[in-house]
Amino acid sequence: MIVEIQCLPNPPGVPSDSYRHVEAAIAEVQRSGLVYEVGALGTTVEGDPDVVWPLVRSVHEACLRSGAEGLVTVVKVEQSAGEEAPTIRSLTGKFRR
């Protein structure tokens, strides 16, 4: 399974750390140990659905725990029924420098 998670906290951070709440979400992904890629407008994560689904919730809640007053989280999900599930690398590798 591959998901792209975009957290849109309000505000995105605090005066001393402009993106504190967004970075709290990314830190949650990093702690998961899953394959991930941080992009300019979201973070893509790949892994077993039984691990990824709870992570989506945890990432969302990390923004709130870090002090965001409000939050919208946008999630895109790719999941294949077959054995040949795509990976981040198989979908984007030819576009990387």
Rounded to an integer, what distance in angstroms lies between the CA atom of residue 76 and that of residue 11?
A: 23
For 9, the token pair is 């906290």
CA torsion 90→37→30→82, rounded to 10°?
-30
Closest CA to 59 of 76, 49, 48, 73: 73
Q: What is the pLDDT of residues 69-81, one digit of tens each?
A: 999 999 999 998 8
The model carries a pTM of 0.90
pLDDT beyond 90 at 85? no
Residue 81: what pLDDT? 85
Residues 6+ positions from 46 with CB-CB distance below 8 Å: 1, 2, 34, 35, 36, 52, 87, 88
